[in-house]
Structures are given as structure tokens and as C-alpha cells.
Structure 1
Amino acid sequence: MLSLTQLSEEAARYENQIQALVVVLFPEFTQVFADPCGQTALAVLKAYPHAQAVAEAGEAAVHQVLRTVPAPHFGRSTAQKLVILAKESVSSGRALCGRASSLRILCDQLEHTQANLVRLEQELEELITTDPGTKGLQQMPELRPKTIAVLRAELGEVDRFACTDQAIAYAGMDIKIRESGQWKGHPKLSKQGSGLLRQMLYLAALRSISLQGSAFDAYYQHLVARGLKKMSALMAVMRKMVAVATHLMQTEEDYDPGKVWVGATGP
């Protein structure tokens, strides 16, 4: 089975390709659908993959496609606007059939990948409720179910880490010194390992510094007060989260915010 990282990267690749084709085939499309990879937008693109197809189909046909997707805010007025924009479109007519076919295929592939992602995330979330190793993680207000699932899946068997520093390095959150280039001698993240894990940690760290009473926010504020730049302090929070998560999964202990930062009691 593909991992969350692989599926997420695959979905992102399809999204980029779809957006690039939409710019050519119907550049005005995003005036109606800010995200051309949303469920309703994909349904329209699969039915009418270019401006000429939308214009020829007409308002009634486009509205019928919109009705197949449970999105009540996209109705007849949406169909009307799409048709008007399609008739006035400055889209390129070059290689229309080939590009339209490619767009349809990409939309199908993205939907299939998104469905697999949803299914895998659901399976992981169900697993964490019965996994004693995630008990402490579920007690951390900064972590949402998907974040916990990603931590568990991407860190894997945490008992193989002799210390939390090894887990931090595995997550690509360890610090390396640049050995060449303009910034030679300056520190940087190694960014090895799972990009999805770092993304989820980044979002969790952002949540923590806006969560009143969070031990991680207290740690962040302490670092900033000492003169550390805000982004560097945020990276430190991410590393602290990996260390705490690894320890909790290894020991199956309850979460204690006081061990994250002295005096913290949690929200």
C-alpha cells in the first residue's frame, strides 16, 4: 500500500498538471472555481474540459453537471457565469483534443488518488484509537487526529530510536551546516525523510502558538524572548513535538505539558 507521503505527493503532482492545462484550455475557469481541483470543479472539467466545450454545451447542460455534486452553493448562476466566460475565453485552440483528453485522465487520476488518501486516513485514524502507543498523543491538544496518524505512520517503529535526537534526524528536523554557496557556514534543516511529516508538524506548531495555555506556545515565547527569530523558534517547536511524540509512543505514558516546558499546565 502506498504511504500517506506517496499518495499526497501523487495528488499534488496531478493538481499541478491540471492547473497548468486549465490555464491553457479555459484560463477564466478559476474566476468561478478558485480551486480547479475541488470536487465540483473536477466534475465540470471531466464533462467539459475546455472553454469551447462549455460554450457549446450551454447553461442547462452545465447546470445538470453541477447538480450531480453535493455543493448547494454552485447552482444555475454558476453555470450561467461559466458559459459567459467560456464564450469570451481567450483560451488556446492548439492541440485541443489531445489536451482535453489529458485533462480528463488527470481528473480521474486525481479523484482516485484523493479517494485512496481519504480511505487511508480513515484507516489510520481508526487504528490510533486502539493503539496504546498513541494514548499520550491523543491527550495533546495541539495534535489533530490526522497529525497523530501521520506521526504514527511516518515515524514507524519508534523503539528503534535509541534517543529522541535520532527521531528528529529521521524526520529531517535536525540542523546541518551549509558547506558551500552564499550561505556557507549557516545552519539549515536537513529536510531528509518525510515531507508530509514536516508539513503536519509545521501546521501543528502554528496551531500551538495560537492555542492559549499550550506548553509549546510557552516554549516558543521563551525562545523568541531570548532573541531567536520567530521562524527558528517555530522550527524548534517542531523538533520539540517530534521528541515529545517519540517519547510518548515509546513509553505509552500520559501527556504531561509540564515536561514540555516548566510551569506549563496545558489549555
Structure 2
Amino acid sequence: MFHVGIDISKFKHDCFIATDAGVKINSFTFTNDYDGFQNLKNELSALSDPSLIKIGFESTGHYGINLKSFLSKLGYTYLEFNPQLTSQFSKATTLRRTKTDKIDAKLIASMLGQFDYKTLHSKFYHKNELKELVRQRDTYLQMRSKQLVRLTNVLDKSFPEFKGFFNNLMGKTPLYILKTYKNKEKISNLNMTHFDKLRKLSRGKFTYPKFSKLKSLAKESIGTSSKIYDLLITTIINHYSELVRIIEVLDTEIENLYFKTDSLIHTIPSISIIAAAAIYAEIGDITRFSNPGQLTAYAGLDVKISQSGTTERFGKIVKRGSSLLRKYLYMYAFYSLQYIPQINDYYHLKRNQGKHHKVILVNISRKLIRIIYHIETNKVSFDTNKLV
């Protein structure tokens, strides 16, 4: 058996090859391009059959994506280590604080002998594409939220009464009004022709009393008129609309990719396809986790424990691992109260015991992890009757 440790960076990768007894075979650097990948291929081919080669590297974001794909196409498997784990392993094996790419590659190779590679290895499936999409979608969602904040800030100066008038500032009707008329002066001078357009746009929800009230607010507004504010409002709304369009495109592709998988997370009551896809993509290969507790730790929802002698303290959740997985679990924990009776009963039981709302939602998130683990490992749909 051969252990191959690879330290990944942007332009080149360092590789260390040893036997399972720790005897060095080779150490070299290869570039992050076609020639470099061919060099690695030749080195691996000279060793043995892919089934007798263990490959490991740290999780380094997108820098290693092409290498993972390349190795999987050649029939190799690999094991990714959390950088926190490699750091702690290094501290446990040496007192020296020397850190280089070559040393890291050697360290990773030695770590491969300390973990159950058979149950933890992973391959490069299209899950990676799904993960890329859901993470990019989350980025665009954050950008869209920032546009809402920026628009609110401008309106606080130009027409502060506008936001409080509408329940949803980013609804179709308020966005149309702001983009078309821009300032309080033009809004205060709207006529019946304008009202007919707004009524049709809102499908009758924007009634004449509302129209009249908005005009009155515009006339009496304490806001400051400025061409700069008009320009900013138009620019922000255009940016917001483009982000909405991009998110819709991503949603379509995410749903298409998710339904090509065998996941059954979407059978959980009222969980959206996007949320199911995000959870599925962030978990990756469920067989990497031998029990729900490992998946809980991966989501960063396990509790910090400090024990010394007879003293034992429980702290906050560690918040390591996948922040996006933790985010979607926590978000759905709240919605699950409405659709899963057992979880609703659990929530109110803990509230009556004096537990804080957020603490209970974290506990529910852990319950959801156990549910998801059962569904995905056994390939069965969600069944409310089997919950206890």
C-alpha cells in the first residue's frame, strides 16, 4: 500500500509518496497545469494499481477542484483533511514549528495511515457542481440583501415614509414606482392614468385609498430631493433586479441537478428543493460519516466540552465545518415546527422548561441531522410515524 500526500496551492502542488510503513518513495513538485498533471499521473502509474494507493490532501477551496476531477477520472480515490485536523496532528507529532509545502505534503501522507481510508474516501461526482451552484447562490442572496439595505439608506434621506407604507419594499409595485417615478415630487403628482397602471400591475391589490395615501405621504414628506438620490435609486433597483434574475437561473439549474441524484431529503415536510439540494451538496458523500454524531460535528453543531478532574463544562456550539449546511439546517428548524408534530411538541416542551428559543432551534437542527442521516443512509422517504 502506498500513501500519497499532496499539498495544494494555486500554481503548483507538492507531493510526497511513501509506503504504508513510512518509507519514502519520492518527493516532487508538479505544476497546476496539463504537464504537471501528466507528471503526477506517470508517478502514480509507476507505483501500483489505484486500489493500492491512498491519496490525501487538505480541503483548500477551489484550488484543488481540477486535481480531484483528474484523479477521479483515472480511477483514484482521495481523502480530504480539515486544515484544523492537520494542524493539530502536526503539533502532536513534533515540537518544531517549521512549516513548508513539502513538510505539509509529508505530514498528510503520514496521516493517511491514521484514518480509516476505506470508509472516508470520496470521489469527484457532480455533487461538486451542485455545491458550486448552491454556494454561488448564497453569495448572490447576500448581495441582494445588501442592495435592499442600500436602497433603504437612500430612501431614509429622499423619501423616509415610503418604506413604512409598503409591507415588502422589494415587491413588484413599490419597485416599479421607485424605478419609474424616483422621487417624492413625481409620486405626489401621479394621476388616474398612473393609478390604472399600478392597479393592473398589482392585480387589484394596490387600491385607490392606498394610491391616495401614498400621494399624500409624498407631498408631506420630510425627505430631501436630489438628482443623486434619483440616480442611486435607479442603479440599486437595476442591480437588485439583475441579482433576482441570476438567482432564478441558478435555482433552475440546482433543481435539475438535484433531481438527478438519489437523495430523498426533499421528502421531509415543506423543505424546499433548494434547501434540500444545499444540504445534500454540503454533506457530499454521506458514507463518509459512520454515525449522525460525525455529521453533527461536520455541521459545526456539536457543543464544546471542557473537562478536568471532576469539573465538566459545556459551552457554545463550535461552529466549525460547513457554515452553509449549518445555516440551512437552522433555517429549516424553524419551519419544521409547523409541519412536523413531534418537533413542534418538543419545542413547546423545552420552552415550558425555560429554554431559550435559539437554543431549542439548535437542538432541533441536531434532530434534523439524525433524520437526514437515516433517510440518506437507508434510502427511505421521511415518515412522520417513525419519529419518536
Normalised by the shorter chain, which TM-score bucket? 0.7 to 0.9
The yes-or-no answer on 1:15 pairing with 2:145 is no
* CA gap 1:192/1:115 in 2 versus in 1, 3 angstroms: farther
1:182 corresponds to: none
* CA gap 1:212/1:167 in 2 versus in 1, 3 angstroms: closer
- Structure 2 SS opposite 1:188: strand
* CA gap 1:157/1:227 in 2 versus in 1, 3 angstroms: same
- Structure 2 SS opposite 1:92: coil
The yes-or-no answer on 1:99 pairing with 2:232 is no
In 2, distance between residues paired with 1:191 and 1:71?
Answer: 45
* CA gap 1:210/1:105 in 2 versus in 1, 3 angstroms: same
CA deviations 1:161-207 (Å, max 9, x no partner) are: 454334333433233479xxxxxx76223445666644543343233
Count residues with an aligned counterpart. 249
CA deviations 1:94-153 (Å, max 9, x no partner) are: xx112221111111111221222233334434444442122xx23322534343233224
The yes-or-no answer on 1:242 pairing with 2:332 is no
**Aligned counterpart for 1:88 among listed residues 220, 245, 252:** 220
1:124 corresponds to: 254
* CA gap 1:159/1:50 in 2 versus in 1, 3 angstroms: farther
- 1:30-179 to structure 2, matched below 5 A, reads 30-55=163-188, 57-60=189-192, 62-63=194-195, 65-67=197-199, 69-93=201-225, 96-134=226-264, 137-141=265-269, 143-176=271-304
**Aligned counterpart for 1:205 among listed residues 309, 320, 333:** 333
* CA gap 1:53/1:158 in 2 versus in 1, 3 angstroms: farther
- Structure 2 SS opposite 1:187: strand
In 1, distance between residues paired with 2:346 and 2:222?
Answer: 53
Query: What one-letter code is carried by the residue in structure 2 that aligns with 1:169?
Result: A
- Mapped contact 2:199–2:205 kept (Cα < 8 A): no
2:382 corresponds to: 255
- Mapped contact 2:269–2:340 kept (Cα < 8 A): no
In 2, distance between residues paired with 1:193 and 1:43?
Answer: 42
Structure with a larger share of its residues in helix = 1
- Mapped contact 1:43–1:65 kept (Cα < 8 A): no
- TM-score, normalised on structure 2? 0.54
- Mapped contact 2:175–2:237 kept (Cα < 8 A): yes
Aligned identity (percent) is 24
Deviation at 1:19, TM superposition (A): 1.2
Bigger RCO of structures 1 and 2 (CA < 8 A, at least 6 apart): 1
In 1, distance between residues paired with 2:369 and 2:295?
Answer: 7
2:24 corresponds to: none
Deviation at 1:18, TM superposition (A): 1.0
* CA gap 1:212/1:240 in 2 versus in 1, 3 angstroms: closer
- Mapped contact 1:219–1:260 kept (Cα < 8 A): no
In 2, distance between residues paired with 1:100 and 1:193?
Answer: 44
In 1, distance between residues paired with 2:281 and 2:192?
Answer: 46
* CA gap 1:111/1:208 in 2 versus in 1, 3 angstroms: same
- Mapped contact 1:47–1:65 kept (Cα < 8 A): no
- Mapped contact 2:195–2:211 kept (Cα < 8 A): yes
* CA gap 1:36/1:142 in 2 versus in 1, 3 angstroms: closer
In 2, distance between residues paired with 1:18 and 1:190?
Answer: 35
Structure with a larger share of its residues in strand = 2
In 2, distance between residues paired with 1:192 and 1:123?
Answer: 29
2:90 corresponds to: none
Query: What one-letter code is carried by the residue in structure 2 that aligns with 1:165?
Result: G
* CA gap 1:27/1:236 in 2 versus in 1, 3 angstroms: same
2:157 corresponds to: 24
**Computing the radius of gyration over CA atoms, which structure comes out larger, 1 or 2?**
2
In 2, distance between residues paired with 1:70 and 1:195?
Answer: 38
Query: What one-letter code is carried by the residue in structure 2 that aligns with 1:241?
Result: L
- Mapped contact 2:199–2:207 kept (Cα < 8 A): yes
Deviation at 1:51, TM superposition (A): 1.1
CA deviations 1:67-94 (Å, max 9, x no partner) are: 563442114443332222111110023x
With 195-204 and 114-123 compared, the bigger mean Cα shift is at: 195-204
What is the RMSD computed on CA atoms of the aligned residues?
3.3
In 1, distance between residues paired with 2:204 and 2:321?
Answer: 41
* CA gap 1:110/1:153 in 2 versus in 1, 3 angstroms: farther
